[in-house]
Structure 1
Amino acid sequence: MTPSRADAAADISAAARSPSGSRFGLVRRHRRYFAIVVFLLLATPLVLGVMRPDPPAAILKEGRYLAPAPTIPAAGDDWLTLSSRIDAFLGDHFGLRQALIRAHKDLTKPLLGFGNDTVLVGRDGRLFYLGQEAVQQSAGLLVRDHRVSDTVDLLARMNAALKARGVKFLVAVPPNAATIYADDLPNWAQNAGRRTEYDLLLDGLDAHGVQAVDLRPAVEAARSGGPVFYMHDSHWTARGALAAFNAIVDADGRPDWRFDPKSALGQPEVREGGDLARMLGEDATETVEDLTLPAARTELLTADPVSDFVGTLDRPGPTIMVFGDSFTQDYFARMALQRAGRVVWLEYHKCGFDWKAIDRFHPDEVWWMPNERFLICDPGAKPADFTG
C-alpha cells in the first residue's frame, strides 16, 4: 500500500521531534554560528586595515618596501602577475599585523630557532632576510643577467649625463648580510665560488668606464674588530658602514676623509629589537657600537617614512648627493658631513627618482648606493625627466 502524503508529513514531523532530529537541527544552528564567527575573524583584520592601517614606517622597519596598490593590467602578461600583486598588497595592508605575526609564532614556532618564510635563522642565532631572495642572490643561486645588464646601461647613461655637467659619479653597493656572514648560513645557502649579480654589476660598470667600489672586502675585513651587521636586523652596524665609507673615500681620492674606528665608534651598548626579530614576532637584544659623530641639521624634503633630506653642519665643502635606502640614510650623512659642506640624501625609488633633483641641488658628486638586494632597477624604470 503506497503511503499517503499525510503519512509522509507525519513521519517527517515525528523525525524532527525525535532526539536524532533535534541533534541534526542543533548541528545546523551551530554551523551557522561557527560560520559567523569565522567570517568575523577573517573580516576584522581587513576592516582594520582599511580604517586604521599600519603606517608605512612599520613595513620599512622590516627592511623592505610597502607593496603598492595593484593596477588594472595594461598588457596580457601583466594579468599573470595580478594575483601575486593583490596578495602582496593585502599582506601589507591588513590590521593587527604585528599581533598576528606574534600569535603565529607562539602557536606554530615557539622557539626562535625555526625561522619562517621571510627570516632564516643561521648559526649562533644570526638572522638573515629571505625577502627579495637576498640569500639566494648572495649565494649566486639567483642571477638575473638581463636585468643587471639593463641596470648597468642606465647607470652608464646617468654617468655620461652627470659628466657633461661636471658632476662626479660613483657606485658603491652595500652588501647583504648573507654576503658578509656566509659562514653563518646553512651549507645550501653558502656561495661555493659562484658569480653573483654584484660581480656582474661591477664587471659591467667597469666595461662602461663607470667608477664603482666593491665594498665587500672592506666590510668583511672589518669583522675582525666587531660586528659589521646586526644579529637580529638586516642592516649593517655603524662599524660596517664606517668600513664602507673609508673604502669609498679612498677610491674617491679623499683619504683625508677617513675615520679611525677607535675614535668614531662609541662604547658597546644594548640595542633592543631589529627588523628581522619583529618579522619573527620575537623580542631580541644585542650589544653594538654607535657613531660618536655629531648629527646633522636636516631639512626634510618629503613626508615619506624614508624622507629625502638636506643635511648641513655649517662648514664649507662640496655637496655630496647620495641615492640609496635605509642603509645610508643615517650613517652616511653623519660621516660625510664631517667633511663635506652639504649632503643631499634621496631615496632611489628603484631607479625611478626625479632627475630634476640634479639641477635643483647642483651636487659636486653623486654616490649611487642601493643595498645589494635592490641593486637592479625595476623593469623599465628610469629617473623621471631623464633624457640621457
Structure 2
Amino acid sequence: MDVQEIRRQFPILQQEVNGHPLVYLDSAATSQKPLKVLEVLDDYYRRYNSNVHRGVHTLGSMATDGYEGAREKVRSFINAASTEEVIFTRGTTTAINKVAYSYGYANLQEGDEIVITPMEHHSNIIPWQQTAKSTGATLKYIPLQDDGTLSMEDVKNTITANTKIVAVMQVSNVLGTINPVKKIAKIAHDNGAVMLVDGAQSAPHMRVDVRDMDCDFFAFSGHKMGGPTGIGVLYGKKQLLENMEPLEYGGEMIDFVDLYESTWKELPWKFEGGTPIIAGAIGLGAAIDFIRDIGMENIEAHEAKLAQYATDKLVEVEGLRIYGPNKRAGLVTFNIDDVHPHDVATVLDSEGIAVRAGHHCAQPLMKWLNVAATARASFYIYNTEEDIDALTDGLIKTKEYFGDVFA
C-alpha cells in the first residue's frame, strides 16, 4: 500500500491551510474524495444525466445501468445475498430511522424492549427513544466497562426474552471501540430479537460481511468512505423488508395506482420513493471500486498501525488524556488538562491541522466520560505517521500557548 500514491489521488490534500500543508484528521466526520469519484460524478452530470427506471431513451438506460450497477457493487461489498436487500438512503441516519419507524412501530408494543448502548451516536439513540414513546416499549442500555468496551456477560444480562430489537454500532465514533456485533447478534436471535448494526464507522475501515455477522439490518454512509454526501445504504434481510411498509410514498415506489388504492413495487424499490439519489449512488459505487483496488485488509492494517502510533506518540504531550480501549479503530479522542477542546482545535487549525472538537453527537457518552466535550483525530487511507507527528507538535504548542497565557 503506497500511501503517498494514494494521497496524490485526493486533490483537496494538495493545498495549504493557514500557511501550512493541510493535515486532515477528521475522516470520522467525513472523508475526502478521490479523483475516481470526482470524475465519475462529473461524467454523470456532463454525459448521461437522466432519471432512472422510467425512461427508455439512451440516457435513461445509461443512468439506470449506473444506478443499479452501484447497487450490485454495494451488495458485493457487504456480501448481501441479493440486491433486493440493498436500499439506497440519504445516509446512516435515514437508514436507522426507516427501521425504527417501519419495523419498530409495526412490531413493538407495551412490555417489549429495545436494547442499545450508551456509546451510540445520536442517530442510533433518538429514533429508538421516539419509537419507545410511541409504542410503549422500554428502552434499555447495555452498561459500559471502564475502558469503554462491552462485557458479553452484561450483553446477556440486558437482552431478555422481552427484547425485540437490539441496535448497536460496530465501531464507536468517539472511543474507537470495536464491538463484537456477531456475538451480540447471536444473543439477540437466541432471545427472539432482531439486530441492527450501525456501520457508519466500520464500513469504510474494515471488511463487512452481513451474512457472516448475521445482522438483520446494517446501515452505513457513503461520505465517510470516499463517496459523495447524501447517499447511504440500508441492508435488511429480505423476509423482514418484505413485511415492512414504506415510509415515503409517491413516484418510483409504486406498482399500480388507482383512485383509492395503490400497490407497491417489489424490493428494493418500494423503499426508494421519488427520484432516487442517482449521482450519489454512482459515486458510492466508484468509491467502493477505489477501496477494493487498495484492499480492505491493507486499509485495516494501515489504520491499526496509525492508531497505535498515535497512542504511543501523544503521551509526549503533558496532561493529555486519551479515552477508550487500547485496541481501537483508527481514531484517538482526547482532552488536555485545563484547555477546552474547542481551543485545542482552533490552535491546531492555525497550524493547518483539522481535528474535530465537541460532543461528536454522543452526549450520553460524554456524560459517562464526565466531560462536556473532547477533541478527536481520526485517520483514513491517506493519513501518515508524519500527520500524527504534526498533530503531536501542534498539541505541544497548544499546551505551551495556554500555559503562557495563564502563567
Place the TM-score, normalised by the shorter chain, in its bin: under 0.3
Q: Bigger relative contact order, structure 1 or 2, given CA contacts below 8 A and separation 6+? A: 2
Bigger proportion of residues as strand: 2
Q: Say which one has the larger Rg.
A: 1
